[in-house]
Amino acid sequence: MIERPAAALKELVENALDAGARRIAVVLEGGGIARIEVVDDGHGIAAADLPLAVQRHATSKLADETLVRIATLGFRGEALPSIGAAARLQLISRAEGEDSAHEIRVEGGLVSPLAPCAGARGTRAVVRDLFFATPARRKFLKHPRTEAEHAEAALRRLALAAPGVAIALEHDGRRLLDLPAQSRAERVAALLGPEAAGALLPVLAERGAMRLAGFAGSPALTRASAVAQGLVVNGRPVVDPVLRAAVRVAYREVIAPGRHPVVALFLDLPPESLDVNVHPAKSELRFQDPAAVRGLVIGALRAALAAPAGAAPRPLGIGGWHRPAARPAPVQGLVAQGLVVQGGGMQGLAESQLPLAAAPAARLVPAATPSPAHPLGAPLAQVLDTYIIALAADGALVLVDQHAAHERLTHEALRAQFHAGGVRAQPLLLPAVVDLPATEAARLLAQAASLARLGLEIESFGAGAVLVRALPAALGAPDPAPLLRDLADELAELGEAMALEARINAVLARLACHGSIRAGRRLAAGEMDALLRQMEATPRAATCSHGRPTFLKLSRADIERLFGRR
Ligand code: ADP
Ligand code: MG
């Protein structure tokens, strides 16, 4: 049960939380292998109860196994004896109303007699020399640095679940965490850091007796792994595959493949609708109705993410550039912080790298007064024929990637039409003939009926040739040849077995890419304004269909901070 320092630390901190501690201080040495110390100011353990506390299956907590526990984190009475069997455990506690503290020690399972000692109200648990008696197990421990990381991660998960408790962590003399008692929102911001705090969208949804609250990171805020996902169910931090999968699905179309969103989600549901006994470490659950949980999480996250551009994200803590989809890139210097945009328009890079002499670097547009109703502001200029600079009524500066933004608008328009019964098709005056490798032509023609509902009408035109009769009207007049080649690629990626219906959205995204304003196209003032207004009215407009940001926003406060005025 205790396989590494992080596991022992988790049990000790859970006990402190169960004891109603307001403040918990953790000190680790040598990754926790040498020493773990947890001091709390909870209700303590009465002297007479100390020998019981270290006995197997002794618990002061309600241990009705048929009842699913929610009130306390522990309930099996196994942790302290397990730690005492694997290490040198020292427990010093003073219960409310007792005039002295008492100490008990367990080393390799041997319990020492109880002894009075000095100590404030609460409990101090010290674990030394983990696996000192079992060198074989000790060999499986990682480098102390790695063990310390695991321990810190475990403590962070508990800290998320208990924002009202002050929590500090020190490792080998270095302070790693120092969290005051906070509101949930403050704790989330403190744990995720300033970069994340500026890009969290509130989540709130109910379904029957279930309630989901918390924060969803904007698609900007992706990480290389899922460790930044905090999931708390009935006050218990969990690592649950059902919840993890739901988060993945909700973000699938707004972040790039292989990246992981940042979330802090708190699910509360009636205790009888889950079973926390499944996993001995209690971090896995079994939901009685996983489909309902999944639906709630996906629906709530999608609703949060569908907030129109500009309306969100609302900074929770320290602001900074709100980069709707930039990955946490190591940044240097203040200016770089906001101006690093990864990617750029998909096909746009080559075009936007045209020699500057070919186009003026920036073209100003006649000034319009920004309206407070327009969070993305009024356009001021087009830069490099690729980016729009706008000014909002509150003084925020907005930089828009015109191709990325338009691609999302087109994608959403196609999606809306599709769900309303079918994408509107524009018949071509002269049907176009496109030559393709025979397998690609066959792959497209096999899906002709489905493609027709996407506004793309094709038929066979002899070996390896496809006749295009109509294209989706929302795309304008794209060149049909690259569009068909791209679609054939998409279908190949999706696999023959996969029905097109199941992957309509991926196909719509491909189509959108072809019907969008390119980087490098000069826009009139009216076109820029129309683009910004449509972004404000369109769900998911903060990122393009590939998960890249469509705009960056620098608020007045951000500007003042960058110039050191604050
Ligand atoms: P469990 O938490 O499942 O009851 P443990 O072995 O973790 O089992 O702890 C055994 C008992 O010791 C608890 O039920 C509780 O009464 C007492 N205890 C342990 N740690 C603390 C603490 N920090 N403060 C108060 N009581 C504690
Ligand atoms: Mg316990």
Dist. CA 10 → ligand 2 center (Å) = 9
Write out the two tokens for 192. 């995720």
Per-residue pLDDT at 352? 34
Nearest CA to ligand 1 atom 15: 60
Residue 62: pLDDT band (50, 70, 90) is: low
Is 73 touching ligand 1 by the criterion CB < 6 Å? no
Per-residue pLDDT at 58? 67
Is 15 touching ligand 1 by the criterion CB < 6 Å? yes
Does residue 339 register a pLDDT over 50? no
Per-residue pLDDT at 277? 64
Per-residue pLDDT at 455? 94
Does residue 432 register a pLDDT over 80? yes
Nearest CA to ligand 1 atom 12: 53
Dist. CA 99 → ligand 2 center (Å) = 25
Residue 560: pLDDT band (50, 70, 90) is: confident
Per-residue pLDDT at 284? 67
Per-residue pLDDT at 425? 92
Dist. CA 270 → ligand 1 center (Å) = 25
- Name the residue with tokens 């698609």: 219
Q: Which of 18, 127, 277 to mutate to test the pocket of ligand 1 (most atoms within 8 A of CB)?
A: 18
Nearest CA to ligand 1 atom 20: 15
- pLDDT tens-place string over residues 259-274: 889 999 999 998 878 7
- DSSP assignment of 215-245: EEE-TT--BSSGGGEEEEETTEE---HHHHH
Q: Say if residue 135 is preceded by a cis peptide, omega within 30 of 0.
A: no
Write out the two tokens for 167. 């929590």
**Average pLDDT, integer, range 84-94:** 96
Does residue 57 register a pLDDT over 80? no
Is 61 touching ligand 1 by the criterion CB < 6 Å? yes
Residue 522: pLDDT band (50, 70, 90) is: confident
Distance CA 378, CA 370 (A): 5
- pLDDT tens-place string over residues 376-402: 999 999 998 899 999 999 999 999 999
Task: Please tell me the pTM assigned to this model.
Answer: 0.64
- pLDDT tens-place string over residues 344-358: 222 222 333 333 344
Helix (H, G, I), strand (E, B) or coil at 270: coil
Distance CA 554, CA 405 (A): 17
Residue 101: pLDDT band (50, 70, 90) is: very high
Q: Which of 80, 98, 106, 124 to mutate to test the pocket of ligand 1 (most atoms within 8 A of CB)?
A: 80
- DSSP assignment of 68-104: PP-S-S--SS-HHHHHHHHSEEEEEEE-TT-SSEEEE
Position 287, amino acid: F
Per-residue pLDDT at 87? 95
Is 11 touching ligand 1 by the criterion CB < 6 Å? yes
Burial of residue 10 (number of CB atoms within 10 Å: 0-12, 13-18, 19+): buried
Range with the lowest mean pLDDT among 50-59, 225-234, 327-336, 455-464?
327-336
Q: Could you list which residues have their CB under 5 Å from ion ligand 2?
A: 15, 74, 79
Average pLDDT of every residue of the chain? 84
- DSSP assignment of 116-157: EE---SEEEEEEESTTTT-HHHHTT---HHHHHHHHHHHHHH
Q: Which of 59, 89, 124 to mutate to test the pocket of ligand 1 (most atoms within 8 A of CB)?
A: 59
Locate the ligand 1 atom nearest the alpha carbon of residue 76 and give its number: 3
Residue 186: pLDDT band (50, 70, 90) is: very high
Per-residue pLDDT at 54? 92
Residue 18: pLDDT band (50, 70, 90) is: very high
Residue 502: pLDDT band (50, 70, 90) is: low
Nearest CA to ligand 1 atom 8: 77
More confident residue, 230 or 274: 230
Per-residue pLDDT at 281? 55
Does residue 509 register a pLDDT over 90? no
Range with the lowest mean pLDDT among 84-93, 140-149, 154-163, 364-373?
364-373
Dist. CA 284 → ligand 1 center (Å) = 21
Does residue 26 register a pLDDT over 90? yes
Residue 127: pLDDT band (50, 70, 90) is: very high
More confident residue, 495 or 206: 206
Nearest CA to ligand 1 atom 25: 44
Does residue 81 register a pLDDT over 70? yes
Per-residue pLDDT at 309? 61
Dist. CA 545 → ligand 2 center (Å) = 47
Write out the two tokens for 438. 């025979």
- Name the residue with tokens 């996250």: 301
Helix (H, G, I), strand (E, B) or coil at 26: strand
Does residue 90 register a pLDDT over 90? yes
Distance CA 492, CA 483 (A): 14
Dist. CA 12 → ligand 1 center (Å) = 8
Is 375 touching ligand 1 by the criterion CB < 6 Å? no
Handedness of CA 113, 114, 115, 117 (dihedral sign): positive
DSSP percent split of the chain into helix, strand, coil, nearest 5: 35, 25, 40
Domains of the chain (ranges; CATH) run 5-182 (3.30.565.10), 185-306 (3.30.230.10), 358-566 (3.30.1370.100)
Is 407 touching ligand 1 by the criterion CB < 6 Å? no
**Average pLDDT, integer, range 74-78:** 72
Q: Which of 50, 52, 56, 60 to mutate to test the pocket of ligand 1 (most atoms within 8 A of CB)?
A: 60
Per-residue pLDDT at 314? 40
Range with the lowest mean pLDDT among 116-130, 136-150, 217-231?
217-231
Per-residue pLDDT at 194? 79
Distance CA 351, CA 362 (A): 15
More confident residue, 296 or 319: 296
Is 79 touching ligand 1 by the criterion CB < 6 Å? yes
Write out the two tokens for 497. 């077995």
Is 24 touching ligand 1 by the criterion CB < 6 Å? no
